[in-house]
Structure 1
Amino acid sequence: MTLTINGTEIARSIRSRVAQRVAETAATGKRPGLATILVGDDPASAVYVAAKRRAIRQAGMRDFHRHLPRHASRGEVAAVIDELAADPDVSGILLQLPLPAQLDAGPLIDRIPVTKDVDGLTTASVGRLARDEKGLRPCTPSGVIELLDAEGIELKGACAAVVGWGALVGRPLAQLLLRRGATVSIAHEFTADLASVTRTADIVVVATGVRGLIGSEHVKSGATVIDVGIHRTPDGLVGDVRAAELDGIAGRITPVPGGVGPMTIAMLLVNTLRAAEWDSARAALSV
């Protein structure tokens, strides 16, 4: 029997713990705050930002938001980032992607101080992860690790296949798994004989953006399958995994929706709290 991993419930538990910690720190006069920056009026981005802001407020954190017009210049966006970077009340800064076509995301993301980079996407944050130094990690890969831990899945010594080479999920997740002692293979939608890579893995994480890429031929009996993909269809939301085929084959599997998605926002709250606590620790040392 294949067990469904309840990402919604695990995320709820994490958010509750964060809210409790925020209430404790607020009693000392310091409340974490997240600044979200939305450029333009992309409907999907607006929904994502609204969900993040709602979660921030529910956790008792301060909600700083900036909405710029679609035709905003690089200088205008940079000025907002610099203003928030200098604001001691802002613990974390999130620049919602994708940006309008006239803006190059890379240089703007790199204006975010590494200590406030709650998305873990700046060059400095990527470097800290690669060198196994203290830093804020990307939310979705961190959420996958939390799901595996919550399910009691041993990572040390496990064989893990990460299907997806993206900078947002695949590459950082592979590094996080390596840090935990897993033996990691990285594949993608162009891998020749993909099944030969995934079928020997104890853990298969799929983050390609290719609907239904992974099926029964790709997964060994008892493996844990984490589906990061999400696609809207006339019949509802589906992932990168043909989940129905894996019933009775996979030991555990995340649903779509209700699996990895809720964990991403939960880990954003964790990162914002960590950024605030690290900032407080630095301030105490400088006194």
Structure 2
Amino acid sequence: MTRIIDGNEIADEIRADVKASVETLTDAGVQPGLATVLMSEDGASETYVSMKQEACEELGIAGHHHEIGPDEPADALFDRIDELNADPSVHGILVQMPVPSHVDKATVLERIDPEKDVDGFHPENVGRLVAGNARYKPCTPHGVQKILAAEGIDTEGKDAVVVGRSDIVGKPMANLLIQYGDGGNATTTVCHSRTEDLAEKTRQADILVAAAGVPEMIDGEMVKEGATVIDVGVNRVDADTEKGYELVGDVEFDSAKEKASAITPVPGGVGPLTIAMLMYNTVKAASVQSGVAVDLP
């Protein structure tokens, strides 16, 4: 029987650990604070920010939300980031992407204080991740690691294939899988849009992580018998539903689950872990900046 991995259940366990750490910090006079900054009128971005703020409220983290008009000059965003960097009540800063075309994304990431970069995308934090000394692991790849650990799926010596090479998921996911230590030690291949004979590569994977952003690009014929399939993709496709669309992953679920030993669904798989790990990183940042130790597994 294929095991359908319940991301919500795993995320709830992580949130419980985070909440306990929030209480430890609060008892010491420190309330963790996360600032979200939105410079967009994109509906999906607004929803994501709202979900992050709701998670803060649930766990006792102080949520600070800032909105900047998308037509405002880039300096309006940079000045706000500078203010948040200097605010001791803010331990984590997240600028919701995408930003408008007149704002340079790389400059935004570099502007955030690396100790407050709870997304883990500042160049200093990327370098630390690659060097095996991560300050904050990027939320989605770290969430995938937590799923594998919770499900008892050992990565050591396994063949892992990551489909996708984005800075947000693909690259850091591959880095985490090859690291020396728990959750790593896998022989890891990264595939992408220029990969020849993708199916040949994916059929070698004991652990297959799909993160290309292409709806249902991987079907059961591309999955090794008994593989673990982690579907990071979240794609809207037209459907005869009340909303006019449905969410699907990068994996064609019905056919892939016939081959996989364990698989994450979309929705309800990796997604819940992303926000849980953002809360995790925020509490870790508060601990680092305050000097108050917490027990975060």
Is the TM value for this pair above 0.5?
A: yes
Of the three residues 264, 268, 274, the one matched with 2:278 is 268
Deviations 1:63-100 (A, max 9, x none): 11111111121111111000000111111000000011
| Corresponding residue for residue 111 of structure 2 | 111
| Alignment gaps of 5+ in structure 2 | 241-245
**Structure 1: how far apart are the matches of 2:201 and 2:125?**
29
Q: Which residue of 2 aligns with 1:73?
A: 73
- The separation in 1 between residues aligned to 2:139 and 2:210, in whole angstroms, is 16
User: Could you list the per-position Cα deviations for residues 92-116 of structure 1 after superposition, in whole angstroms to 9, with x for gaps in the alignment?
Assistant: 0000000112111110111111111
Say what the alpha-carbon RMSD is for the aligned residues.
Answer: 1.3
User: Distance between the aligned counterparts of 2:262 and 2:50, measured in 1?
Assistant: 31
Q: Which amino acid aligns with 1:203?
A: I
Query: Percent of aligned positions with the same letter in both sequences?
Result: 47
Moved over 4 A (4+): none
Question: Which residue of 228, 231, 236 maps to 1:232?
Answer: 236
Structure 2 match to 1:243: 253
**Which AA in structure 1 matches 2:71?**
H
1:246 Cα deviation after fit: 1.7
For the pair 1:182 / 2:192, whether they are aligned, the reply is no
Does the Cα contact within 8 Å between 2:213 and 2:250 map onto a contact in 1?
yes
1:184-239 per-position Cα deviation (integer Å, ceiling 9, x unaligned):
01102331111111111110000001111111121111100000011122152111
Aligned residue runs from structure 1 range 214-229, under 5 A = 214-229=218-233
What is the aligned partner in structure 1 of residue 95 from structure 2? 95
Equivalent residue number for residue 258 of structure 1: 268
Residue 13 (structure 1) aligns with: 13
Deviations 1:31-61 (A, max 9, x none): 1100000013211100000000100111101
Query: Which piece of structure 1 moves more, 123-132 or 166-175?
Result: 123-132
3-state secondary structure, aligned to 1:268: helix
Give the corresponding residue for 1:158. 158
Q: What is the TM-score when the length of structure 2 is the normalising length? A: 0.93
TM-score by length of 1: 0.96
SS at match of 1:127: helix
Aligned residues: 283
Q: Counterpart amino acid of 1:231? A: N
Displacement, 1:248?
2.6
Equivalent in the alignment of 2:243: none
Partner AA of 1:165 in structure 2: R
